[in-house]
Amino acid sequence: MHRTTIDGVLRLEGARYSDRRGEVEVPFADPAFREAAGRGMFAVQQTILTRSRLGAVRGVHYTATPPGTGKLVHCVAGQVLDIAVDLRTDSSTFGQWDAFEVSGDDTAALYIPVGVGHLWIALSDGATLHYLLSAPYRAELERAVHPADPDLGLPLPPEAERLVSERDANAPTLREAAAAGLLPDRAASARAERATESASR
């Protein structure tokens, strides 16, 4: 497990065991998470499995804070570019991102805390991500920043090859979201993180 360039985002290196029957994969283990993060992970409130076609772009997504939502994401099939974007307005890395190419052959998982946006790009047909969430999905609380915002400069596929939802295509830019008061700050994000961690004890 190692920290990334975005505060609070962790890349967990899981384990795989095999014998003549097949394989067992362990993308997450609480003791390793506690050692790296200094605390426990959230209590899982919902899981989601998302399959996408080649060129699909999902994000940049986040949840209104409060309540905010923490995520643990793991690629179970195909190949994706998984990206975390710091949306905390007073963070030293606000607007910066870190990207990880992962596939169903990897054991890695990405922990994305409250206040950090998430985007992923399907690099193959049938690319599948499994999400663990700290809160149930509620459409009215979900927010997005435009994936093609030039200020972010995300490594998107050529426009003609992108598959983007109508919601994401109409999302505000980072500057517009900040000006409208839609983005969290570090204090609000930290409070939401502590609330989810307390619930897991």
Structure tokens at 9: 């985002």
Single-letter amino acid code for the residue at 139: A
Yes or no: say if 101 and 123 are a contact pair by the CB < 8 Å rule.
Answer: yes
Sign of the torsion formed by the C-alpha atoms of 63, 97, 193 and 107: positive
Distance CA 76, CA 138 (A): 24
Distance CA 189, CA 66 (A): 8
In what order do the strands lie in the sheet containing 46-52?
A: 2-3, 10-12, 109-112, 71-77, 127-133, 46-52
Active-site residue set: 61, 131
Single-letter amino acid code for the residue at 142: E
Sign of the torsion formed by the C-alpha atoms of 129, 120, 81 and 66: negative
